[in-house]
């Protein structure tokens, strides 16, 4: 049985706090103008940390190794897509598309894990 605590509440609001903190850091240091970096680009390592803790609390094992394998397969898929669609792979466009897709997958998986954790707490 998953026990609910203040720590779990912290992990539920963690992605929102991370995105606001990353947005504050980017606006403070003007990283968007200099390097064209956005807050999701910086938030990914923190989301992986949150995914690790949330999955260990929900299922008593981490899903991060499976997520890393999925990210590697996504990288291959993005390379094949860009080679087919554009006829070439431009590294800047590749890494930007890849990293933003990793953010989307991480956020979706984080929301699913929160819902599953709540379900395990209720059931």
The answer on pLDDT for 2 being more than 60 is no
Please state, in angstroms and rounded to a whole number, the distance separating the CA atoms of residues 104 and 109: 8
Q: From residue 17, give the alpha-carbon distance in Å to each of 48, 73, 75, 78, 80.
A: 14, 29, 28, 29, 35
Q: d(Cα 105, Cα 19) in Å, to the nearest integer?
A: 15
Reported confidence tier of residue 92, pLDDT bands at 50, 70, 90: very high
The tens digit of pLDDT for each residue in 11-34 reads: 999 999 999 999 999 999 998 888
**Is 13 within 8 Å of 71 (Cβ atoms)?**
no
What are the boundaries of each domain within the chain? 6-122
pLDDT band at 71 (very low <50, low <70, confident <90, very high): very high
Question: How confident is the model at residue 3, as a pLDDT?
Answer: 61
Q: pLDDT digit string (tens) for 29-68?
A: 998 888 889 999 999 999 999 999 999 988 889 999 999 9
């Amino acid at each position: 049985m998953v026990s609910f605590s203040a720590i779990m509440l912290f992990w539920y609001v963690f992605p929102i706090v991370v995105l606001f903190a990353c947005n504050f850091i980017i606006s403070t240091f003007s990283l968007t103008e200099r390097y064209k970096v956005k807050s999701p680009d910086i938030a990914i390592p923190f989301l992986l940390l949150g995914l690790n803790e949330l999955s260990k609390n929900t299922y008593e094992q981490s899903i991060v190794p499976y997520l890393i394998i999925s990210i590697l397969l996504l990288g291959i898929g993005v390379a094949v897509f860009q080679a087919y669609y554009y006829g070439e792979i431009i590294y800047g466009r590749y890494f930007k598309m890849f990293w933003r897709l990793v953010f989307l997958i991480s956020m979706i998986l984080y929301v699913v894990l929160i819902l599953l954790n709540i379900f395990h707490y209720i059931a």
